[in-house]
A and B are shown apart, each in its own frame.
Chain A
Amino acid sequence: MVRKQGTLRICVGASAGGHMNELLKLLEASRSWPQPPAFYVTTLEALAEKVAQLGPVYIIGECNRQHPLKALRVLMRSLRVVLKERPDVVITTGSLPLAMVCLSAKLFGAKIVWIDSIANIERFSLSGRMMLPFADLFLTQWPELARRHKDVEYAGAIV
């Protein structure tokens, strides 16, 4: 792919609710990033309007582990978004639908930054554990969890 030297296509995404809340707070503090995100991914239409103020947004729908068929549909939508946008890096605060985006993007060589939600105190989320082997940077917001896992960093709490 021909691309301007050193320009990263950054995808950021989060499920509706707390995950998105954390992501928006992270973005407010993201002045040190080399580029602003190229596009956004979330799960509910109710958020489309708000996120669209930041840039192009894709809605991939909700799913959880109890509905494999829904998860498959979200995976297909994720693949479509990734094929269209070709991100170099995906940054997300979760959850499972965004893990689908990460896996789809990883398939095409993208780097993954996974920030496990602050709601996971005793252990990582299921989607977090799923992403552990694939993430290029895995952050937790609880120091104790970082101490228990190598390859996991604690850099602070977003909220």
Chain B
Amino acid sequence: MIFLTVGTYPLPFDRLVKATDTAIMEGLIEEEVFAQIGLCSYRPQNMEYVQMLQKETFDSYFQKASSVISHAGIGTITMALDNEKPLLVMPRMKRYKEHVNDHQIDTAREFGELGHILVAYDVEDLPDGIRKLKSFTPKERKASPEAVADRIGRFLNSLSECHQVRAWD
């Protein structure tokens, strides 16, 4: 099963859902597709879909999927890297009122260039992305959540000390 998601962002992203629906119709995707379409008004004809899944159900669909197609949201990108899922993204764009700015293009480009994901910048790129998706192996990413948490920990500990001083006053 291929999992299609436009994320939780409170604006529609009909372009991606419609383009994927078309790809199924044209026989480019043979696998079954399941979609979380969020606030899209387009209703897919060739796949099962829901508006929004509870987080835990979402996670289980994600894990079951052979690959994922989504908007270029960092949450989906991170999940794909964590689960070693081949991911094809299409960035939401301001010009189509899919987001308030174009930061998803930057995210897609950066993670795409690092070999973590496949990118279709527009509807025309999607078929090519879909063809590559099947054999795509995402490059592993090294993050350092501990270093960030420790920096915040130092800040919190300094606050705790101030707090103590204040309590003694």
A72 to B167, CA, bound (A): 35
**Residue-wise interface mask of A (28-62) relative to B, using a CB-CB cutoff of 8 A (1 in contact, 0 not):** 11111111000000001011011000000000001
With A16-B8, A32-B150, A46-B8 already in contact, the answer to whether A157 and B144 are too (CB < 8 A) is yes
Contact of A18 among B52, B73, B101, B146 (CB under 8 A): B73
A41 to B138, CA, bound (A): 33
**Residue-wise interface mask of B (124-155) relative to A, using a CB-CB cutoff of 8 A (1 in contact, 0 not):** 00000000000000000101111111111111
* Chain A binding surface SS class: loop
* Chain B binding surface SS class: helix
Question: On chain B, which size bracket covers the interface?
Answer: 35 or more
Which of B14-22, B27-35, B40-48, B157-165 is the interface stretch?
B157-165
In the complex, the answer to whether B56 meets A7 with C-beta atoms within 8 Å is no
Contact of A21 among B79, B160, B168 (CB under 8 A): B79
Instruction: Please indicate the chain B residues that have their CB under 8 angstroms from the CB of A8 in the complex.
Output: 156, 159-160, 163
With A26-B148, A32-B150, A139-B148 already in contact, the answer to whether A117 and B156 are too (CB < 8 A) is no
With A7-B163, A17-B75 already in contact, the answer to whether A121 and B106 are too (CB < 8 A) is yes
In the complex, the answer to whether A17 meets B7 with C-beta atoms within 8 Å is yes
Contact of A46 among B9, B11, B55 (CB under 8 A): B55
In the complex, the answer to whether A156 meets B159 with C-beta atoms within 8 Å is no
In the complex, the answer to whether A64 meets B74 with C-beta atoms within 8 Å is no
A24 to B11, CA, bound (A): 24
With A64-B100, A119-B73, A120-B103 already in contact, the answer to whether A29 and B145 are too (CB < 8 A) is yes
Q: Cβ of B54 < 8 Å from any Cβ of A?
A: yes
Q: Cβ of A80 < 8 Å from any Cβ of B?
A: no
Question: On chain A, which size bracket covers the interface?
Answer: 35 or more
Q: Cβ of B67 < 8 Å from any Cβ of A?
A: no
Instruction: Please indicate the chain B residues that have their CB under 8 angstroms from the CB of A50 in the complex.
Output: 54-56
A104 to B6, CA, bound (A): 31
Q: Cβ of A65 < 8 Å from any Cβ of B?
A: yes
Query: Which residues of B does A touch, CB under 8 Å?
Result: 7-11, 52-56, 73-79, 81, 100-101, 103-104, 106-107, 110, 141, 143-157, 159-161, 163-164, 167-168
